[in-house]
């Protein structure tokens, strides 16, 4: 009885202590969940980063080295070795970061990374040797090395070791997810027990409940402030956010961050952060959302630059094949050049003017249209321009490209089955080598020409000018040979005619001599 009386007298204090204990336990659970969530996010980020680095060993190092070597093999242009140099430069950086992450994670197979490093370094050394063979024109040895397919051997070693690393990272990620789920389950059980114990005490602690509610609201306000400061700030009124909304907002932000990172790591640079817009951009410059968006933009820019380099390299390689055809036929070669460039730059029409010398006046040169292309149809148009006449003639004189993006109506029109339309972009590029312009190409299309397309046209301009100059010289030599043969045949004919005349004169003279002798006898 005495114990029961003591409990009754101190019921409020006991209830307060019990509620305080419940609040303390609940707060501890919240901080524990926060720690588990942060640790899970960290592990997931590390595993995704490690997986990304493993893939970049092949995509960024091996492929760039291979692309640079093949580009150089085709054109012998030192500039095309840029991807190879980038891959060699990035190789130790990527492997170093991967080693750091895996050591921190407790990876038990360091020999796997050593094998990856040896594999990649061996491929790089083989490729550098092949470049050396190209530089000394040892093409037989180069083709033998290329036929040995060093990339396949590298891939076999890389794939085997990459699977080991990725399996380890997947296991770590799964363990972290399991740990986080277990923590949530334990929290649910513990909080259920606490609620059952606390229910009787709530009848005695209305005031304490109000106070606890106020304190809890402050806690959620702090959580909301931290969410906005370190995760994402939508720019809305933070004071109007309900407690459930704060929790949902926090969970949604973490899910958004995980999804955003996953998409970017898989190369999807068009992914957006839900709710991130121009109005709240300044509010998210230093939190997780802002940093991830900045990272996405940087990676997107890097990918765009890689695509431009690959587009240029592939275009130069394919264009070199075009130039190797029809080198004995200037008309066919001109059409092939114009057709390829018009399609590759996704233009709709184009024309090629070649510099010609007036056969009657060697000091006078003019531009003659050698090929015309429009909407998949070949059009042979006879047209000559004087040097300096119009944009094409002026481009020849200045030797620099002309890019127009706002063409006046009526300047030129593109005709299709849908009617006539003024193009949105016009590009005129001189084809010159060693400061000598051999031709001028004009392209027009419904899309504006980009800077890298203009630079590409300048590069192919050097190849085109050299090839056209050689073909024109060959045709001149052929014409000279044909004239020499004609003159030789004429001389032979005249010589035969003279010989016959001499024989007739000799026969006439002999007849006169015989007649004279007969007369005297």
Give the pLDDT of residue 10. 60
User: Residue 240 domain-assigned?
Assistant: no
Q: For position 338, what pLDDT does the model report?
A: 92
Q: Cβ(461)–Cβ(430) under 8 Å?
A: yes
Q: What CATH number does the domain containing 462 carry?
A: 3.30.450.40
Q: For residue 477, what pLDDT is reported? A: 62
- Using 50, 70 and 90 to split pLDDT, how confident is the model at 417? very low
Q: How many CB atoms lie within 10 A of CB 278?
A: 6
Confidence category of residue 134, pLDDT binned at 50, 70, 90: confident
Q: Which range is most confident: 42-46, 119-123, 250-254, 428-432?
A: 428-432
User: What's the per-residue H, E or C state across 201-265?
Assistant: HHHHCHHHHHHHHHHHHHHHHHHHHHHHHHHCCCCCCHHHCCHHHHHHHHHHHHHHHHHHHHHHH
Select from 256, 427, 403, 419 the least CA-distant residue to 341: 427
Tokens representing residue 81 in the block = 């070795």
256 within a domain of the structure (yes/no): no
Residue 427: which pLDDT band, with cuts at 50, 70 and 90? very high
**pLDDT by residue (tens digit) across 204-235?**
566 655 666 777 777 777 877 787 777 777 77
* Residue 228 falls inside a structural domain: no
In-domain check, residue 377: yes
196/336 same-domain check: no
d(CA 286, CA 231): 9
> What is the tens place of the pLDDT at every residue in 277-290?
777 778 777 888 78
Q: Across all residues in the chain, what is the average pLDDT?
A: 79
Same domain, 335 and 200: no
- The C-alpha atoms of residue 115 and residue 269 are separated, in whole angstroms, by 32
pLDDT band of 103, cuts 50, 70, 90: confident
Residue pair 68/87 in contact by the 8 Å Cβ criterion: yes
Residue 144 lies in a domain: yes
Residue 165's domain comprises: 2-204
8 and 143 in one domain?
Answer: yes
Domain boundary among 152, 174, 204: 204
Question: In the chain, how many domains are there?
Answer: 2
Domain boundary among 204, 231, 256: 204
200 plus 341 within the same structural domain: no
Closest CA to 201 of 387, 422, 19, 449: 19
Q: Is residue 106 part of a domain?
A: yes
- End residue of a domain, out of 449, 472, 495: 472
Decide if pLDDT at 91 tops 60. Answer: yes
How much is the average pLDDT of 455-472? 85
Q: How far is residue 32's CA from residue 135's CA, in Å, rounded to a whole number?
A: 63
Predicted confidence (pLDDT) at residue 443 exceeds the cutoff of 60? yes
Asked whether residue 477 is assigned to any structural domain, the reply reads: no
């Amino acid at each position: 009885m005495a114990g029961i009386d003591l409990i009754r007298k101190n019921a409020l204090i006991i209830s307060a202590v019990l509620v305080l204990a419940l609040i303390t336990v609940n707060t501890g659970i919240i901080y524990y969940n926060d720690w588990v969530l942060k640790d899970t996010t960290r592990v997931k980020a590390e595993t995704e980063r490690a997986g990304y680095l493993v893939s970049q060993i092949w995509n960024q190092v091996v492929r760039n080295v291979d692309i640079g070597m093949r580009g150089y093999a085709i054109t012998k242009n030192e500039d095309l070795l840029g991807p190879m140099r980038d891959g060699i430069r990035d190789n130790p950086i990527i492997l170093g970061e991967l080693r750091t992450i895996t050591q921190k994670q407790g990876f038990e197979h360091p020999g796997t990374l050593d094998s990856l490093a040896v594999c990649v370094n061996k491929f790089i050394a083989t490729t550098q040797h092949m470049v050396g063979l190209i530089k000394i024109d040892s093409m037989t040895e180069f083709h033998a090395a290329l036929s040995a397919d060093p990339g396949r051997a590298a891939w076999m070693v890389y794939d085997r070791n990459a699977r080991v690393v990725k399996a380890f990272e997947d296991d770590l990620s799964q363990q972290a997810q399991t740990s986080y789920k277990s923590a949530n389950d334990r929290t649910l059980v513990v909080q259920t027990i606490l609620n059952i114990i606390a229910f009787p005490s709530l009848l005695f602690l209305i005031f304490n409940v109000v106070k606890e509610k106020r304190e809890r609201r402050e806690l959620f306000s702090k959580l909301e402030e931290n969410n906005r400061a370190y995760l994402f700030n939508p720019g809305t009124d933070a004071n109007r956010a309900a407690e459930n909304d704060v929790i949902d907002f926090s969970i949604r932000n973490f899910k958004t961050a995980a999804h955003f990172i996953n998409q970017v790591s898989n190369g999807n640079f068009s992914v957006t952060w839900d709710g991130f817009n121009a109005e709240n951009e300044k509010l998210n410059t230093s939190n997780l959302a802002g940093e991830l968006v900045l990272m996405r933009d940087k990676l997107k820019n890097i990918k765009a630059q890689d695509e431009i380099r690959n587009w240029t390299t592939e275009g130069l390689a394919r264009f070199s094949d075009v130039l190797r055809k029809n080198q004995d036929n200037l008309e066919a070669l001109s059409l092939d050049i114009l057709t390829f460039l018009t399609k590759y730059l996704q233009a709709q029409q184009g024309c090629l003017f070649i510099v010609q010398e007036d056969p009657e006046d060697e000091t006078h040169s003019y531009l003659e249209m050698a090929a015309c292309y429009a909407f998949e149809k070949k059009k042979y148009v006879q047209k000559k321009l004087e040097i300096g006449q119009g944009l094409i003639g002026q481009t020849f004189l200045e030797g620099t490209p002309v890019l127009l993006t706002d063409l006046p109506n009526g300047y030129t029109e593109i005709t299709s089955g849908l009617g006539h339309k003024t193009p949105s972009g016009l590009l005129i590029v001189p084809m010159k080598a060693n400061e000598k312009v051999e031709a001028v190409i004009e392209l027009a299309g419904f899309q504006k020409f980009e800077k890298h397309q203009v630079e590409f046209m300048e590069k192919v301009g050097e190849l085109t000018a050299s090839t056209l100059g050689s073909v024109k010289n060959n045709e001149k030599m052929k014409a000279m040979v044909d004239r020499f043969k004609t003159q030789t045949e004429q001389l032979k004919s005249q010589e035969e005619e003279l010989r016959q005349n001499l024989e007739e004169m000799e026969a006439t003279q002999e007849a006169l001599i015989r007649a004279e002798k007969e007369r005297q006898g």
